[in-house]
Structure 1
Amino acid sequence: MSLHVATANRLDDGLVVFLTADGGWSENINDSRIADGKEAADALLKEASAPELDIVIVGPYLIEVEPQDGGLVPTKYREVLRTKGPSVREDLGYQAV
C-alpha cells in the first residue's frame, strides 16, 4: 500500500501546506486528502499543480505517508522536519505554537 499527499509552500508566508479534500490548503498534514495508489497520486499531483494555484502555493509535490497513532506521518525524515518547522530554534515554526 502506497499512500501519498500533496504538499507545497504557501506563497504569502512560506509555510508548508497540504492539499485538503475540499481543494484548499492546510498547515496540518492530518487535513490532507490521501491518494491510495499511483493513479490516485497522479491525479492528486495534477490538481495540486493547476496553473491557477501559482498565486497561492509554489512547488507542489507528493510525499509518501503512513497512518500512525490516529494521524498521518511522512515516511521520509526530510518531510517529517517540514511538518514540524525549523529545527534550529524551537521558538519558531509549528513547534512554537
Structure 2
Amino acid sequence: MKAITANRLTDGRVIYRTAQGQWSTRFQDAQPLDDYAAETVLAQAGRESGIAVGPYLIELGEHAPAGQKWRREGIRIDGPTSGTIRLIEPANHDRAA
C-alpha cells in the first residue's frame, strides 16, 4: 500500500492526500492506495497547483510509513529534529586574571 505526501505551498507543512481528494496535515487521514491507484492519484495531484508542492508516493506499513524511506517520513510526521536549544554551560575553569 502507498499514500501520497507533499508540502503545503503556503507554509511548507507536510500534507497527505485524503480519500476525499483533499489535503490534510494528519498522517492518519492519508488515503491508502494500491500501486495502480497510487500512480493515477499521484498524477492527478501533480496537475493541481496552488496547494501542494512536490507530491510523491510513500510506502505504508500498518498505520505507519514503511520501506526504505521510513525514517525520513517518520521525521516529517513528527516535525523537525532541530530547533530545541540545549544550553551547555562551559566548564568552570580557573582563569588567570
Say whether the fold is shared (TM-score over 0.5): yes
Scaled by the length of structure 1, the TM-score of the pair is: 0.77
1:69-88 matches, cutoff 5 A:
72-75=63-66, 76-88=70-82
Return the match for 1:18 from 16, 19, 26: 16
Using the TM superposition, give the Cα deviation of residue 54 of structure 1 relative to its aligned residue in structure 2, in angstroms: 1.8
3-state SS of paired residue (2:36):
helix
Structure holding more helix per residue: 1
1:31-42 matches, cutoff 5 A:
31-36=29-34, 38-42=35-39
In the aligned structure 2, how far is the partner of 1:39 from the partner of 1:17?
Answer: 21
Q: Which amino acid aligns with 1:73?
A: A
Q: Provide the alpha-carbon RMSD of the alignment.
A: 1.5
Residue in 1 that maps onto 2:44: 47
> Mind listing any 5+ residue stretches in structure 1 that lack a counterpart?
92-97
Q: How many residues align?
A: 82
Structure holding more strand per residue: 1
> Mind listing any 5+ residue stretches in structure 2 that lack a counterpart?
86-97
Structure 1 residue runs of 4+, over 6 Å off? none
Scaled by the length of structure 2, the TM-score of the pair is: 0.77
3-state SS of paired residue (2:39):
helix
Q: Deviations over 1:32-79 (max 9, x none)?
A: 11102x2122112112212xx221110000000111xxxx21111111
Give % identity: 39
Q: Which amino acid aligns with 2:55?
A: P
Return the match for 1:27 from 25, 28, 38: 25
